[in-house]
């Protein structure tokens, strides 16, 4: 039986790499798409088997179109898309320039929107698909530790998830979001600072940072055929920082 094919953007490092490893372990063929193409290829080589790395600038629609065409040529189709690529920049809100806003939104919002269009059209034509968009606590509570432009992009991701979920549901394609809070990851360590991590963790109701491997488990569950009745949802994992 042909394994399902998953495309993970921003998949070479960090949370993206956790997601890639989890999907691969679950039996997916994985296309690792990243601006750091050499890192994506290195991860694919490490995993072996049905994994390949691709150099992709998700902010460029033509690059996304080429990614879809190449993965289809290499694997025969795409059943799962994880829009994980993002750009973070810790910058005081009133100091964000127009250029910085555009750069962060181009990756965090526009690329996700266009990938949903392109891959969603491909999946709908084949009557099946799973799209998982990576949102963030910052997009829900207006947190700006990673930049107000990043928070705005992630808020938009939550909205576009609902829009595409409604559009694609009749075609057998589900579209959901996962919204992590602060994770035990290099990015959070850098932003918070090693000396401040213990105090920061105590400020979270559960008293600890999140586990990126668990976020990857959530993504894998939403990417599974069994998740057919879940669409337009945003699954939270924020340690109790945002409750609804």
- Classified as helix, coil or strand, 51 is strand
Task: Please give the backbone phi and psi of residue 234, each rounded to the nearest 5 degrees, phi first.
Answer: -125, 110
DSSP label of 85: -
Residue 30 in any domain: the answer is yes
Looking at residue 39, its pLDDT comes to 98
CATH code where residue 124 lies:
3.40.50.720
**Into how many domains does the chain fold?**
1
Give residue 2's pLDDT band: very low, low, confident or very high (50, 70, 90): confident
What does the pLDDT look like over 178-237, one tens digit per residue? 999 999 988 888 888 899 999 999 999 999 999 999 999 999 999 999 999 999 999 999
Residue 243 in any domain: the answer is no
Residues 6+ apart with CB under 8 A from 61: 114, 118
Beta bridge partners of 82: 8, 132
Tally the C-alpha atoms within 13 A of residue 37's C-alpha that lie toward its C-beta: 7
Residues 6+ apart with CB under 8 A from 86: 10, 107, 108, 134, 150, 153, 154
Residue 98 in any domain: the answer is yes
What does the pLDDT look like over 22-42, one tens digit per residue? 999 999 999 999 999 999 999
Q: Which structural domain range is residue 207 located in?
A: 5-232
- Classified as helix, coil or strand, 181 is coil
Residue 244 in any domain: the answer is no
Residue 105 in any domain: the answer is yes
Residue 240 in any domain: the answer is no
Residue 241 in any domain: the answer is no
Residue 238 in any domain: the answer is no
Q: Which of 54, 128, 150, 242 is catalytic?
A: 150
CB 165 within 8 A of CB 174: yes
Two tokens at 181?
């809070």
What does the pLDDT look like over 81-128, one tens digit per residue? 999 999 988 889 999 999 999 999 999 999 999 999 999 999 999 999
Active site residue 128: no
Looking at residue 9, its pLDDT comes to 98
């Amino acid at each position: 039986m042909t394994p399902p094919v998953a495309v993970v953007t921003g998949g070479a490092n960090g949370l993206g790499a956790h997601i890639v490893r989890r999907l691969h372990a679950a039996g997916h063929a994985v296309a690792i798409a990243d601006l750091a193409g050499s890192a994506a290829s290195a991860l694919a080589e490490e995993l072996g088997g049905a994994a390949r790395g691709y150099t992709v600038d998700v902010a460029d629609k033509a690059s996304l179109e080429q990614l879809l065409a190449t993965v289809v040529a290499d694997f025969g189709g795409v059943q799962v898309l994880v829009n994980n690529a993002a750009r973070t920049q810790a910058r005081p809100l009133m100091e964000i320039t127009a250029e910085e806003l555009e750069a962060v939104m181009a990756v965090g919002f526009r690329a996700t929107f266009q990938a949903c269009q392109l891959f969603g059209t491909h999946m709908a034509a084949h009557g099946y698909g799973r799209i998982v968009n990576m949102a963030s606590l910052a997009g829900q509570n207006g947190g700006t530790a990673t930049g107000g432009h990043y928070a705005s992009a992630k808020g938009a991701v939550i909205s576009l998830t609902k829009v595409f979920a409604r559009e694609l549901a009749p075609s057998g394609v589900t579209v959901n979001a996962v919204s992590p809070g602060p994770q035990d990851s290099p990015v959070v360590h850098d932003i918070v600072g090693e000396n401040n991590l213990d105090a920061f963790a105590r400020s979270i109701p559960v008293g600890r940072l999140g586990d990126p491997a668990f976020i990857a488990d959530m993504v894998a569950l939403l990417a599974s055929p069994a998740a057919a009745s879940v669409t337009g949802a945003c699954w939270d994992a924020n340690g109790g920082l945002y409750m609804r």
